[in-house]
Amino acid sequence: MKNIVILISGSGSNMAAIARTAQKERWHDKLGVRVAAVISNKAEAKGLALAKEFGIATDVLSHRDFESREAFDAALMARIEAHAPQLVVLAGFMRILTPGFVGHYAGRLINIHPSLLPAFTGLHTHQRAIDMGCRLAGTTVHQVTAELDHGDILAQAAVPVLPFDTADTLAARVLTQEHLIYPQAVRSFFEAKASSA
């Protein structure tokens, strides 16, 4: 069985989209793939309850319990490795990961970012797109590298920026596309692995 571990910090809506698609499309039977665990750095993350509803194992590791990013990442890696993952998915995990962590999972660590990368790396992407007068905004699934919001692009989806958009209305429109392309990108990751094996 090929295991996925998903890291979250909040609502877990992208995690739930992946788990829902995995069930609906029977990844377990067709691809030998399952979401093995959801790990959060926040005990109050609403996504943990969602994961339990899907029957997925959950774990919490607070970054506040560690004196350094390196110490937290080392402990996080140990929790992840307990599930022997083929893929680690960042789904609203609000931590900048250390180069050592990223290097360990090189080629099997992916993230979703709410802009059409390489535009608008970092935070406040929707407001920045509006302020720049962009006609299009969107979302990108990409491989994670040591450089923030860089790495090979695996999938993108664009949405129009409407004349009266606020950051919140644009974010909501982008999020609907995130819920579509993130599960597709995860499935494609394993399909590509299978075809190259």
- Residue extents of the structural domains in the chain: 2-196
The answer to whether residues 177 and 112 touch, using CB atoms and an 8 Å cutoff, is: no
Q: DSSP string covering 172-194, please?
A: HHHHHHHHHHHHHHHHHHHHHHH
Q: Any catalytic annotation for residue 113?
A: yes
The CB density around residue 1, as the number of other CB atoms within 10 Å, is 10
Domain 2-196, architecture per CATH: 3-Layer(aba) Sandwich (3.40)
Please tell me which residue in 63, 83, 113, 142 is annotated as part of the active site: 113
Q: Is the pTM of this model over 0.95?
A: yes
- What does the pLDDT look like over 10-44, one tens digit per residue? 999 999 999 999 999 999 999 999 999 999 999 99
- What does the pLDDT look like over 57-112, one tens digit per residue? 999 999 999 999 999 999 999 999 999 999 999 999 999 999 999 999 999 999 99
